[in-house]
């Protein structure tokens, strides 16, 4: 910055160094500008630095070149007054109170979010229920330790031996029938069916299963399908020892897959991969073909599509209810006094699930064969599905939840997410239009 010195000629300029001016006091020595004292130093009020600097320039150039200096001063930026005002002195809008209408607008969103955090009805369907501790006292703990010794040291070896001997007897009789008897005939099918029922009975005996069946025994006839709630893969074993069902089942790896391919195919079981859409179309055609033949074994479907913890029932798939045949509901309820029969496939293999059952005291279960149901006039397949689900839930004492069981294995569909977004956007737009 350059300033004109009044004691020099108008043609001569010299540089001056600007020093920030402190708060004005009565001592004029506190305000020095290039060796000169400003004319406003005796004032006792604060003056912004930039205004003081311009005032010095105005006094210094008064003798000559006033017009030139006024033009230079006007070309500088005007001071921003907001920089010198406190936050309290700035104008502020009064706070707007939250009205009842605002609360009603946001309440559905907050309720849904809080409900998902506090009470997740979907995750609860697939949680194992831990038993209440009962043995932590001086007189029950020794009895519990004795029970552990009996279950693991005595019952488990005997049950495992029973299972091994049963498998040996089964394979000794099954493979000759399966591979030596040519073609498909009624005698071969009957022997295979009886052997499969025997093998399932051996499984139930290895858990010391106490199964009570209610209602008439299922019979083989065309145009009927059996549907049941699903808690574990042992549901199929418990029902199979009663009647050789042809079940619709997810493909499994390991020794379970070996049994599926070599043994259960003999009773007409159908396998699928829930992640393959082509498999679903093929399964649909096989279902229609199966129910039309009177010689086929009764068809069993678990319409939930996944294992639920026997306290809730999720949505039923409607494929079994669109076949145009009689639907025979089956309600299965496990007594958890000795063991929880729910199979959490996300945390436990089926082998370890069987070991847990074999090391328990017993598996107690009730099975109800309910009356066949038919599609009513004017009733849709979805309404028919819900009516049958209501019957099973009421008989087994299960709570209905509006969830798709496939969400346990797959991420939510983009359509579901888009529908939620659309509903929220419509509510926001409606409120903006009203305002």
Query: Tens-digit pLDDT profile for the chain (435 aa)?
Result: 444 444 444 444 444 444 444 444 444 444 444 444 444 444 444 444 444 444 444 444 444 444 554 555 555 555 555 555 555 555 555 555 556 556 556 666 666 666 656 556 677 888 887 777 788 888 889 999 999 999 999 999 999 999 999 999 999 999 888 888 877 778 888 899 999 999 999 999 999 999 999 998 888 788 899 999 999 999 999 999 988 899 988 888 889 988 988 888 888 888 887 666 677 777 888 888 888 887 888 999 999 988 999 999 999 988 889 888 899 999 999 998 889 999 988 888 999 999 999 999 999 999 999 999 999 988 999 999 999 999 999 999 999 988 877 776 666 667 767 777 787 777 777 777 776
How many of the other CB atoms lie within 10 Å of CB of 53?
A: 21
pTM, entire model? 0.68
Nearest of 319, 314, 335 to residue 382 by alpha carbon: 319
Q: Are residues 310 and 218 located together in one domain of the fold?
A: yes
**pLDDT for the residue 235:** 95
Same domain, 234 and 362: yes
Give a yes or no: residue 424 inside a domain. Answer: no
CB 330 within 8 A of CB 367: yes
* Tokens linked to 290: 């199966």
Would residue 106 count as lying in a domain?
no
* 409 is a domain residue: no
Phi, psi of 71, rounded to the nearest 5 degrees: -65, -40
Q: Are residues 175 and 66 part of one domain?
A: no
Q: Same domain, yes or no, for 65 and 158?
A: no
Rounded Cα–Cα distance for residues 108 and 113 (Å): 9
Instruction: Let me know whether 240 and 372 are in one domain.
Output: yes
**And the tokens for 15?**
């540089």
- Give the pairing type, strands 270-272 and 2-3: unpaired
Give yes or no: residues 328 and 211 share one domain.
Answer: yes
Write out the residue range of the structural domain in which residue 18 sits.
2-81
**200 and 310 in a common domain:** yes
- The reply to whether 157 and 74 lie within a common domain is no
Domain assignment of residue 426, yes or no? no
Please count the other Cβ atoms lying within 10 Å of the Cβ belonging to residue 315: 20
Whether residue 288 contacts residue 301, with contact meaning beta carbons closer than 8 Å, is answered with no
Task: State whether 297 and 160 are in the same domain.
Answer: yes
Between CA 141 and CA 116 the distance in angstroms is 39
Establish if 95 belongs to a structural domain.
no
User: In this structure, are 76 and 185 located in the same domain?
Assistant: no
**C-alpha dihedral over 247, 250, 253, 258, to 10 degrees?**
20
Domain membership flag for residue 252: yes
* 371 in a structural domain: yes
Instruction: Return the pLDDT at 195.
Output: 93
Number of domains in the chain: 2
Structure confidence at residue 204 (pLDDT): 96
Same domain, residue pair 177 and 60 = no
Q: Judge contact between 378 and 370, C-beta under 8 A.
A: no
- Residue 159 inside a domain? The answer is yes
Q: Are 222 and 318 in a shared domain?
A: yes
């Amino acid at each position: 910055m350059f300033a004109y010195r009044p004691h020099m000629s108008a043609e001569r300029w010299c540089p001056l160094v600007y020093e920030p001016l402190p708060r004005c006091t009565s001592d004029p020595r506190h305000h020095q500008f290039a060796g000169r004292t400003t004319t406003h130093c005796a004032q006792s009020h604060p003056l912004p630095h930039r205004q003081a600097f311009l005032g010095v320039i105005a006094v210094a150039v008064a003798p000559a070149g006033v017009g030139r200096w006024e033009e230079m001063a006007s070309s500088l930026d005007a001071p921003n007054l907001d920089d010198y005002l406190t936050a309290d002195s700035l104008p502020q809008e009064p706070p707007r109170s939250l009205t009842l209408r605002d609360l009603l607008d946001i309440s559905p969103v907050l309720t849904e979010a809080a409900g998902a955090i506090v009470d997740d009805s979907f995750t609860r369907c697939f949680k194992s229920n831990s038993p209440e501790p009962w043995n932590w006292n001086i007189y029950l703990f020794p009895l519990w330790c004795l029970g552990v010794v009996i279950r693991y040291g005595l019952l488990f070896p005997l049950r495992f031996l029973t299972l091994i001997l049963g498998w040996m007897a089964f394979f000794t009789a099954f493979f000759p029938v399966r591979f030596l008897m040519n073609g498909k005939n009624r005698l071969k099918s009957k022997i295979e069916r009886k052997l499969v029922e025997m093998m399932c009975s051996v499984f139930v005996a290895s858990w010391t299963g106490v199964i009570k069946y209610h209602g008439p025994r299922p019979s083989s006839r065309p145009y009927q399908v059996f549907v049941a709630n699903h808690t574990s893969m042992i549901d199929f074993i418990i029902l199979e020892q009663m009647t050789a069902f042809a079940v619709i089942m997810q493909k499994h790896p390991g020794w379970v897959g070996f049994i599926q391919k070599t043994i259960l195919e003999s009773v007409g079981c159908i396998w699928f991969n829930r992640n393959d859409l082509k498999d679903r179309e093929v399964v649909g055609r096989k279902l229609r073909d199966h129910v039309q033949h009177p010689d086929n074994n009764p068809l069993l479907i678990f319409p939930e599509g996944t294992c639920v913890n026997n306290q809730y029932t999720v949505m039923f798939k409607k494929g079994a209810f669109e076949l145009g045949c009689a639907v025979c509901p089956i309600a299965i309820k496990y007594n958890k006094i000795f063991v929880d029969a729910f199979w959490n496939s996300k945390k436990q293999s089926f082998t370890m699930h069987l070991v847990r059952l074999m090391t328990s005291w017993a598996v107690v279960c009730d099975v109800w064969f309910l009356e066949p149901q038919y599609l009513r006039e004017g009733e849709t397949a979805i309404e028919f599905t819900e009516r049958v689900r209501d019957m099973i839930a009421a008989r087994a004492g299960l709570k209905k939840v509006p969830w798709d069981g496939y969400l346990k294995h797959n991420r939510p569909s983009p359509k579901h997410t888009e529908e939620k977004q659309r509903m929220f956007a419509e509510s926001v737009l409606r409120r903006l239009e009203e305002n």
